[in-house]
Structure 1
Amino acid sequence: MSTTTRTRRAALVAVTVTAALVLAACGGDDSDSGSGSGHGGGHSSAASSSSSASSGDTAAAHNAQDVSFAQGMIPHHRQALEMAQLAADRASSAEVKDLAARIEKAQDPEIETMSGWLKSWGEEVPEDMGSMPGMDHGSGSAMPGMMDDAEMEKLGKASGKDFDTQFLTLMVEHHEGAVDMAKTEQSKGRYAAATAMAGDIVTAQTAEIEEMNKLLGKS
């Protein structure tokens, strides 16, 4: 009986140890599996979702109107700068010279900013006033307010009070065109910085139009 009892006990212990090992192994598998899918898998899914959302935000940050605004306003501003630079030597009025200096100070940095937007969007930055589709500086421009070559040549040959009158008359028209373009951007653009700049252009150039009309004796 003693030998039989010892044998049975040994067998029971072996069975118990085996069962414990099996349970431990199963528990480990479940834990590892749960950890992999619950943490690693979840993190991967979240990262993927975040990446997709980020890409979507970037794609939605601007639209075709924003591109059109920048590509049109850059050459528009450049022509205004060209006109303003003539005033330093040709204008007779201190008010005209001061206005021209303010136009340069405001619009040159805006050109740099808009060029940066286009580069970041992978879009073409216009190099000159005739480089964009639909623009013909020789026979006029599709953009409102732009001067043609004949008008610019005539302005370049003027001086004194004649220059002042031509400059103010042409710049009023030029500003009115820029305001129209900016209002379109405000209503149809998506890129916040571009619509904000458009608002600044509307405010500043509307005030300058009033100022120039007063200098011309129109109001």
Structure 2
Amino acid sequence: MNTRKLLPLSAVALAAALALAGCSTGTPGSSATSMPGMDHGAMSSSSPSASESSQAVGDHNAADVMFAQMMIPHHAQAVEMSDMILARQGIPNEVSALATRIKDAQGPEIEKMTSWLSGWNQSTQMPGGHSMEGMMGADDMAKLQAAQGADAAKLFLTQMIAHHKGAVVMAQTETAGGQNADAVQLAKDIVAGQEAEIKEMQQLLTTL
């Protein structure tokens, strides 16, 4: 599969993101990749409360807005990839469990970031001309859709590692330049959670 560090946000990914509450896509092997759905603890296991939403509407800057606009479709693609693997037969239990955790964590985070953008009177769509790290291309997604059994599990892990790496890069950018406390905290949670999952997936690959 072709690797790429940056891929312009596609209309397909954006449409999928909005459908999940936005949620959907990265390229394996790229040094920068995705953020997608990880287990970030209690913060990602439930929808934002009224108080959280109120706090998030406070001070924010352009970095906070861009972080949310980019992470929504990035998370959405991770959810889409997880759905693909969960629909397959013959997938090792450990891989299916990981895909479930990713999906369960990132869905609520998409809702959280969507609510922030709404409170900031900002579009959930990224301005044209921006690119995201770790997003899968259409050919990568097609290969994952077609793969079966152990091959599908290996491809999912390889692609998701790249996707997670991209998310970590974007989250680190937010922690360095963001202003909104809630957004910066989510970015820190993404870095910690996804770096741990990258190690987990690399270990799983050695067993397949």
Number of positions where the alignment pairs a residue of Structure 1 with one of Structure 2: 152
Question: How does 1:147-158 map onto structure 2 within 5 Å?
Answer: 147-158=136-147
State whether structure 2 residue 167 is matched by structure 1 residue 178.
Answer: yes
Question: Displacement, 1:87?
Answer: 1.3
Alpha-carbon distance in 1 for matches of 2:96, 2:127: 31
In structure 2, what is the equivalent of residue 108 of structure 1?
107
SS in 2 for 1:125: coil
SS in 1 for 2:172: helix
Contact 2:171 2:191 in 1 (8 A): yes
Structure with the greater relative contact order (CA < 8 A, sep ≥ 6): 1 or 2?
A: 2
- Given the alignment, which residue of 116, 128, 140 partners 1:133? 128
Q: Using a 3 Å threshold, how does the CA distance of structure 1 residues 118 and 60 change in structure 2: closer, same or farther?
A: closer
Q: Any gaps of 5 or more consecutive residues in structure 2?
A: 1-55
- Given the alignment, which residue of 180, 187, 190 partners 1:198? 187
In structure 2, what is the equivalent of residue 72 of structure 1?
70
Instruction: Please give the per-residue CA displacement for 1:103-144, whole angstroms capped at 9, x wherever unaligned.
Output: 011100000000000011111013xxxx64225xxxxxx211
In structure 2, what is the equivalent of residue 207 of structure 1?
196
Alpha-carbon distance in 1 for matches of 2:190, 2:84: 22
- Given the alignment, which residue of 51, 62, 87 partners 1:89? 87
Q: Any gaps of 5 or more consecutive residues in structure 1?
A: 1-57, 136-141
In structure 2, what is the equivalent of residue 51 of structure 1?
none
Q: What amino acid maps onto 1:211 in structure 2?
A: E
Alpha-carbon distance in 2 for matches of 1:59, 1:116: 9
Question: In angstroms, what is the RMSD of aligned CA positions?
Answer: 2.0
TM-score, normalization: structure 2? 0.69
Q: What amino acid maps onto 1:120 in structure 2?
A: G
Instruction: Please give the per-residue CA displacement for 1:17-73, whole angstroms capped at 9, x wherever unaligned.
Output: xxxxxxxxxxxxxxxxxxxxxxxxxxxxxxxxxxxxxxxxx9970000000000000
In structure 2, what is the equivalent of residue 167 of structure 1?
156
Alpha-carbon distance in 2 for matches of 1:199, 1:120: 21
Alpha-carbon distance in 2 for matches of 1:158, 1:134: 32
In structure 1, what is the equivalent of residue 119 of structure 2?
120
Q: Using a 3 Å threshold, how does the CA distance of structure 1 residues 106 and 59 change in structure 2: closer, same or farther?
A: closer
Q: What amino acid maps onto 1:197 in structure 2?
A: L
In structure 1, what is the equivalent of residue 60 of structure 2?
62
Write 1 or 2 for the structure with the bigger share of helix.
Answer: 1
SS in 2 for 1:143: strand
Q: What amino acid maps onto 2:167 in structure 1?
A: A
**Identity across matched positions, percent:** 48
